[in-house]
Every structure is written in C-alpha cells, then in structure tokens.
C-alpha cells in the first residue's frame, strides 16, 4: 500500500475560536501544521502518494504542500460544494486504481498506528475495510464499535463497546465502487456510507491499537496536541 486519502475539507467550526483563519488540518501544532505531522508520520511507514480531499480554504493547503512534499506525490480532490465526509471520500477515491488497497485518514485526527499490523489484520479476514480502533472511557463523546473475538466488526455503533473508531482505515477501492451512492446530497461516512456497506455484506475488520490518539476537533484537545506531537516526544504502537 502506497496511497492514502486524507479527508481535509471540513469547516472546523468548533475549532474556529482557536484557529480562526485556517482550515482545521492546517492548525499549527508544535511549529508546523497538524496535517504535516500526519503526512510525515505515514511517509515514515512507506506511503508515497497522498490524495488530499479539500474544500474550505483549500488554497492554504495546496500552497503549503504543492505537488511534492518530503518525497511523496500530492494530488488534490477539491470539493466546491460540501458533500460530507462520505461525498469527499467518493470524490477522492475516483483517483485510485482498483488493484491495490489504500489508506483513508481523517484530517483532524492523528493516531499512532502501525500500517503493517492493520494490513495484516485485513488480510487475515479477507476484509474490504479494516478500522484502527482505540480504547476509550468516554461514551458521551465516542461511539463504540462492536468487535468480535476474531477481530470482525459486528456493529459500527455500540454504546457499550470499549473501543472506538480512530479515523484510520485500510480499504479496497473496488469494494467502494461496487455500490452506487446518491451524491446529490451530503453523505456521512459513519452514518451513511459505512452502515450501508456493512448491511450489504462487505467484510469489516478492526484492530485495537494502543498508540497515542489525538482529535483536534475541539480547542482543549487541539491545545493538548503539542504535548503528543512535539519533536522528541516518543510515540509507540501496541496492537491487539
């Protein structure tokens, strides 16, 4: 796997008080944009092609990263009318070949996941999708994902499950293309796209990872991100 789609087009309204003039993925953390931390992390694991799905103030992103960044090729899928996270994925995925799995990343979360482990879990289950999950104790904020004993996802929304979606997904592009979606209205990944694919029998696997997780969607966690991503801070991955 060498290609990753990054969903980086959100409005970031909850973060506007802390970062009023930038798209959320460009919020500065420890001296550089949050999205740069994310891209560098995955370049370190062998990803060499990024498709940035952008919308709100996308020029700030494209002017920073250009078409080549730290040895990786950067392409863009520009949404001129917001279509939700699901619509953004469908637009960007049109640039992917069918014959290789790809990575899907949320542009406002950073999760210390070992790509090799995620791919191995997907292969074990011959999965169409494999989610990186993190353990949590805040059911008011995070909706749990039900995981079977062998690592197959049985439900995407389980209030009592101790693990939640970490915004890192291994997937097969052809699995997404086998299903027609109505893109005339916004689509949500979590509420529209994933539930439909699961209901149609596509295989979903999950891997609980113990590495650091940051969601900068709210100001408190944005300010905490520097303590995780600052140079010299060692992160590690534990998978289960």
- pLDDT by residue, tens only, the chain of 240 residues: 689 999 998 765 666 566 667 888 998 898 899 999 999 999 999 999 999 999 988 999 999 999 999 999 999 999 988 899 999 999 999 999 888 999 999 998 999 999 999 999 999 999 999 999 999 888 778 889 999 878 999 999 998 899 999 999 999 999 999 999 998 899 999 999 999 999 999 999 999 999 999 888 878 888 888 888 876 544 544 444
Strand partners, 52: 6, 76
Fold of the CATH domain 3-133+163-229: Spore Coat Polysaccharide Biosynthesis Protein SpsA; Chain A (3.90.550)
State the DSSP code for 180: -
What are the Cα distances from residue 3, in Å, to 99, 115, 120, 148? Answer: 12, 12, 17, 29
Residues in the chain: 240
> What is the number of other CB atoms lying within 10 angstroms of the CB of residue 236?
9
* Closest by Cα among 13, 9, 3, 11 to 39: 3
Q: Are 29 and 225 in contact, with CB atoms under 8 Å apart?
A: yes
């Amino acid at each position: 796997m060498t290609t990753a789609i990054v969903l980086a087009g959100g409005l970031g309204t909850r973060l506007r008080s802390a970062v009023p003039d930038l798209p959320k993925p460009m919020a500065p953390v420890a001296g550089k944009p949050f999205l740069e931390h994310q891209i560098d992390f995955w370049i370190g694991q062998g990803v060499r092609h990024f498709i940035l799905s952008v919308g709100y103030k996308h020029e700030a992103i494209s002017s920073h990263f250009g078409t080549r960044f730290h040895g990786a090729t950067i392409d863009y899928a520009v949404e001129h009318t917001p279509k939700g996270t699901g619509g953004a994925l469908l637009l960007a995925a049109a640039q992917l070949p069918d014959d290789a799995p790809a990575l899907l990343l949320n542009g406002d979360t950073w999760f210390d996941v070992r790509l090799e482990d995620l791919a191995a879990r997907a292969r074990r289950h011959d999965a169409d999708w494999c989610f990186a999950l993190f353990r949590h104790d805040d059911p008011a904020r995070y909706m749990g994902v039900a995981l079977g004993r062998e690592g197959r996802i049985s439900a995407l929304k389980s209030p009592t499950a101790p693990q939640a979606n970490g915004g890192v997904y291994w997937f097969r592009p052809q699995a997404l293309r086998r299903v027609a979606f109505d893109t005339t209205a916004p689509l949500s990944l979590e509420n529209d796209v994933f539930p439909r694919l699961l209901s149609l029998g596509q295989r979903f696997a999950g891997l609980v990872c113990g590495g650091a997780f940051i969601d900068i969607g709210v100001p408190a966690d944005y300010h905490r991100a520097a303590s995780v991503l600052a140079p010299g801070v060692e992160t590690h991955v534990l998978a289960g």
